[in-house]
Structure 1
Amino acid sequence: MSEQEIIGKGTWIDKLASELLEREKSLGRNLDLLKVESGLGASGIPHIGSLGDAVRAYGVKLALENLGYKSELIAYSDDLDGLRKIPEGMQEFGLEEHLAKPVSLIPDPYGCHDSYGMHMSSILLDGLEKVGIKYEFRRAIDTYKQGVLKDNIHTILQNSTKIGEKISELVGQEKYQKYLPYFPVCANCNRLYTAEATEYIIDEKKVKYRCHDAEIGSKMIKGCGHEGEADIAKDLGKLAWKVEFAARWAAFDIRFEAYGKDIMDSVKVNDWVADEILDFPHPHHVKYEMFLDKGGKKISKSLGNVLTAQRWLEFGSPKSILLLLYKRITGARELGLEDIPSLMNEYNELEDINFGRVKIDNKAKLVKSKGLYEYVNLLNPPKQASTHVNYRLLIELAKIFKENRNERVMKKLLDYGVIKNPEPEIEKLIELAGNYSDEFDEQEKTQIDLDETAKKALKILADTLGADEEPEDIQNTIYQIAKANDVQPKDFFKILYQIILGTSRGPKIGPFISDIGRKQVAKKLSEYT
């Protein structure tokens, strides 16, 4: 890769920002402020995937600023969305009566925010703040109440017949050939999706609606039968998703928004509405795959397999989350807390590359690795590298020492020569690894390619360590077993580090095996023979 081919920091984020700029220039639009947006779902507990949407949009904002342009992230909470399902684990809060009501009109079951919707939004905003993301927060309920979208709503409803036909053509949904793409909140029962609008009175800017039974989230919700008119400027209501993004993009002047493949159809229609109905060129997009749990199911608020940023941060650093989200954007990924140790260690490897401790001959890989490191540090990287301690090493030590854990693990790190001085940063790492070791008994088995010679040597060592008579010098025993079985000692030591710590190096292995327990190590080695 030549110098000329490297864009910004050499990552996918820079490539996206560059594509966005080229498109904006070709459209001839003002480049004084380039706004990027992330939608925040407020109908259930927000998970890492929800956080990822905003974190990645923020990365594009940073890349635009790095290229010399002013940018800001708008985090938009869709808190006028109706509650379609009761999230797993929240059945005891009596939310059944609030199904189909806007989440901003449902009381907070926990009693600490002005609504259910704001409670859920606050969890995501707290996660963003914990990982260092800065944003301009907007709420749907305020946006609609303040009339920010009213002109766009008026234009969309004037063109509802044309839009209904296009929705049918693009995605095969015929609903909006019968109803308007706008849901007023029923003045009688406060429900949203049961109040379906059938007619727009253009000169009065009012919709006629009737509240009737509707299937919402595979459940039939009874309508109250109320018939009425709703003023789009004064009464509370909400555009359908098939057109709402477009109205928002035009009102906020949004130039970039990523989207998950689960809303592809909505984005396709909204792009057309923005371009053809609102005369606002739709934002630059990138499509991302959804995060899956370790069973291969989509992480979902309603399924209850949610992994929140707060839960992740009990065990891993904010930088481990940012690394997860900035590594790449394409491809579905299975995600679980068991990924934390490798991400914690991977960050250290990136830092070593950044500060020249590890040499990378491939220019493109070097630039990309350094760029990724800078984005994980939100383009404000430290001036010098931190003290690195293998996270799996800390987990193993934390399993041994339950009492006075920080002090005793720190002493072992000093004894092993892993660190020179105790540091507050290392204390925090010990605390995180301690939480991890207390919660999870086993680490994922490291996949290693072993030939028969290495397997034979491992079996002999496992049998030796598992015997009642303890080897006086474990370090020398390992060395002798390797030599006697035609395995290079340095290769054998590397294999042991990979099995025990998931890395190619670590503290002196003999004393370390003695500390964590010979029979425990023997059991782990026997899994590879």
Structure 2
Amino acid sequence: MTSIQPFERELAPAARAWPFEEARKLLDRIGGKVPEKGYVLLETGYGPSGLPHIGTFGEVARTTMVRQAFQRLSDIPTKLFCFSDDMDGFRKVPDNVPNKDMLAAHLGKPLTSVPDPFSNEYPSFGAANNARLRAFLDSFGFEYEFQSATDWYKSGRFDPMLLAMLRHYEEIQAVMLPTLGEERQQTYSIFLPICQKTGRVLQVPVVETKPDDGTIVYRGEDGALVETPVTGGNVKLQWKADWAGRWFALGVDYEMYGKDLIPSAELSAKIVRILAGKAPEGFAYELFLDEKGQKISKSKGNGLSVEEWLTYAPPESLALYMFQSPRKAKRLYFDVIPRAVDDYRTFVGKFAEEEEAKKLENPAWHIHGGKPPAPDSTGLTFGILLNLASACHAESKEVLWGFIRSYAPGATPEGDPQLDRLVGYALNYYRDFVAANKAYRAPTEAERGAFEALAAQLEAAPADASAEDIQNLFYEVGKTIMAEDLRGWFKTVYEVLLGQEQGPRMGSFVQLYGRDNMVALIRKALDGKLA
């Protein structure tokens, strides 16, 4: 963990950023005292029937932010468990895996009893996906402890909880049954036996419970009655009961979940209370929306993957997107990336100069555990690099670095790897989302005069003209043609010179692109060589 600064201890109790608000709720929950287990436990859950996705990243990133805030409020030890429900039944063969026919023969079995379809490197499909989850989390530097449901069930560590569930079986059933359809009620049981013959997780009716013996009697798939212990990995719990059982057995103090799981969390909390336990402090976050404003669904594939985001932007920008307004539904699509990158760079850039209290509100503090990196020396934005790539039709880093060296003579890819990565991201984004959609238009007769004047004034400007001076040139020319609509004038500039409806602050852009290059670009537009 990052070392804690004295001012963080002093100011954390009043910090208003949402992770601190959540951390104070967590501290109140435990009464400011060390829990009996010796630490405060934060948890995130994962279903290993598929690969980790952007929601997995968001949940672990946000929970980590709460944990970091809590560590500034208290010396009480903390742990973060990433819990894999890998004993869940294998219900459907995914479309994106090999050896589908082999997998189909194992439908219904626990995920950790299904063979690895990828390479036989792991003992099971669940273990293979668990390994991918750990590699995924490790790549972002998260601090966590991985936990396997199969291990907890089969090792007996869940046995006391399962026996408690058995003793309170009727009460828990009474909580669950009203939430189910009439047909489902007839066969529902919180216990799912693992068939000793087929190895499948069975959804069958339980006809008798024997709390004193620690067993249940169920009617098997062949109609015969079977008695089995609820301990030792012979059964698993239905997922809402399983969630409650996990909270109770592990002593979970804090867990996040999507807004769509609020009713499930409320049911699980009721079950925990029946067991004489205490449900964790919860945080229901809003779900992401696709480009059309529809809820993102893994099955529909209408979202943006972590891999796609990281093709065009650094992981810190994704962490910022997760930090901002977690209780507000937001579009998660490619067009949000440039703003997220530049907002991140802005927060990092102003962190060092902020008052100490403001630092705890700065998202960069939460993204980097109190230790944001130093900003690069150029201050160039992702947006301006995109527009540079657009203006010069760049296809390589070397092209952009030629302009950067002229703008900031001391900058080099080797000396500023952070900026060099940003250049690479900008090129990727330009290639895939900007280049194909560029639509130049020719200037109108009225606009031609304005562009002629702009070129002349740029040529006549002093050699030491600042970005603000050049910006004012654009304003002054714009006033001669569109005095009542300067926004419309800049839209004209972007459409004619860059082939897009939006663009950069032109003073800063010209400083980077070069005045001679800008004049040449204007001449091309006037000669009809762009449209």
TM interval, shorter chain, is: 0.7 to 0.9
> Offset of 1:151 from its aligned partner?
1.0
Distance 1:106 1:173 in 2: 30
For residues 247 and 21 of structure 1, what CA distance do their matches in structure 2 show?
23
The one of 9, 33, 38 aligned to 2:39: 33
**Residue 30 to residue 292, structure 1, CA distance change in 2 (3 Å):** same
Q: Is the 8 A contact 1:131 1:319 kept in 2?
A: no
Corresponding position: 1:105 with 2:103: no
The answer for the alignment partner of 1:339 in structure 2 is 336
Residue 249 (structure 1) aligned with residue 247 (structure 2):
yes
1:391 aligns with 2:399: no
Q: CA deviation at 1:491?
A: 7.7
> Pick from 490, 505, 508: which aligns with 1:506?
508
Partner of 2:469: none
DSSP-derived class of the 1:304 partner: coil
Instruction: Output aligned runs, 1:458-477, within 5 Å.
Output: none
The SS at the match of 2:253 is strand
The answer to whether structure 1 residue 484 and structure 2 residue 480 are counterparts is yes
Match of 1:167 in 2: 176
CA, structure 1 residues 66+442, in 2 after alignment: closer, same or farther (shift >3 Å)? farther
Shift of 1:368: 6.1
Structural RMSD (CA): 4.0
Displacement after TM superposition at 1:149 (Å): 0.9
AA aligned to 1:307 is L
Q: Is the 8 A contact 2:59 2:256 kept in 1?
A: yes
Matched, 1:201 2:198: no
Q: From the superposition, tell whether residues 205 and 392 of structure 1 become closer, same or farther in structure 2 (CA, over 3 Å).
A: same
CA drift of 1:486 comes to 5.9
AA at the equivalent of 2:164: T
Say which SS state the counterpart of residue 105 (structure 2) adopts.
helix
1:61 aligns with 2:70: no
Please give the TM-score of this superposition, normalised by the length of structure 1.
0.79
> Are 1:81 and 2:81 counterparts?
no
**Could you tell me whether the CA contact under 8 Å between 1:398 and 1:409 is conserved in 2?**
yes
- Shift of residue 91 of structure 1? 8.3
Query: What's 1:265 paired with?
Result: 263
Pairing of 1:176-187 with structure 2 (within 5 A): 178-187=187-196
Equivalences for residues 287-326 of structure 1 within 5 A? 287-326=284-323
Alpha-carbon separation, structure 1, partners of 2:219 and 2:409? 71
Cα deviation 1:243-295 (Å, max 9, x = unaligned): 11222122222110111122222211111111222x22111011112222223
Question: Structure 1 residue 58: deviation in Å?
Answer: 1.2
Residues 41 and 50 of structure 1 are in contact (CA less than 8 Å); yes or no, is this contact kept in structure 2?
no
Does residue 434 of the first structure (1) align with residue 430 of the second (2)? no
**1:115-194 maps to which residues of 2 (within 5 A)?**
115-169=124-178, 171=179, 175=184, 178-194=187-203
Matched AA of 1:289: E
- Report the more deviating stretch, 4-13 or 327-336: 4-13
Q: C-alpha offsets along residues 19-54 of structure 1, whole Å, 9 cap, x if unaligned?
A: 111122189955951110000121223321122111
Query: Are residues 177 and 129 of structure 1, via their aligned partners in 2, closer, same or farther at CA, if it must alter by over 3 Å?
Result: same
* Comparing 22-31 and 317-326, the one that deviates more: 22-31
Match of 2:5 in 1: none
Q: Is the Cα contact below 8 Å between 1:87 and 1:301 reproduced in 2? A: no
Measured in 1, the distance between the counterparts of 2:124 and 2:253 equals 30
Structure 2: 5+ residue runs without aligned partners? 1-8, 461-472, 495-499
- Partners of 2:506 and 2:197 lie apart in 1 by 67
Shift of 1:87: 3.6
Question: Aligned pair 1:93/2:100, yes or no?
Answer: yes
Identity of aligned residues (%): 25
- Mean Cα displacement is larger for which, 119-128 or 16-25? 119-128
CA–CA separation in structure 1 for the residues paired with 2:519 and 2:127: 49
- Point out where structure 1 has 5 or more consecutive residues left out of the alignment: 213-223, 446-457
**Secondary structure in 2 aligned to 1:437?**
helix
Q: Tell me how far apart the structure 2 counterparts of residues 515 and 88 of structure 1 sit (CA, whole Å).
A: 53
Superposition deviation, residue 390 in structure 1: 1.3
Shift of 1:432: 1.9
Which residue identity is paired with 2:372?
Answer: P
| C-alpha spacing 1:472/1:108, structure 2 compared with 1 (3 Å) | farther
Pairwise CA distance, 1:17: 0.6
1:450 is aligned to: none
Distance 1:408 1:177, change over 3 A: same
The normalised TM-score by structure 2 is 0.79
Number of the residue aligned with 1:424: 417
Name the aligned partner's letter for residue 345 of structure 1: D
Per the alignment, residue 464 of structure 2 pairs with: none
Aligned length: 488
Q: Distance in 2 between matches of 1:441 and 1:162?
A: 59
Contact kept? 1:465, 1:518, Cα under 8 Å: no
CA contact (8 A) 1:206 1:232 kept: yes
Give the whole-Å Cα distance in 2 for the aligned partners of 1:491 and 1:407: 33
Aligned to 1:448: none
Compute the displacement of 1:76 (Å).
0.3
> Within 1, Cα distance between the matches of 2:524 and 2:161?
66
Tell me the distance in 2 between the aligned counterparts of 1:301 and 1:488.
Answer: 48
Evaluate the alpha carbon distance shift between residue 55 and residue 473 of structure 1 in structure 2; reply closer, same or farther with a 3 A threshold.
Answer: same
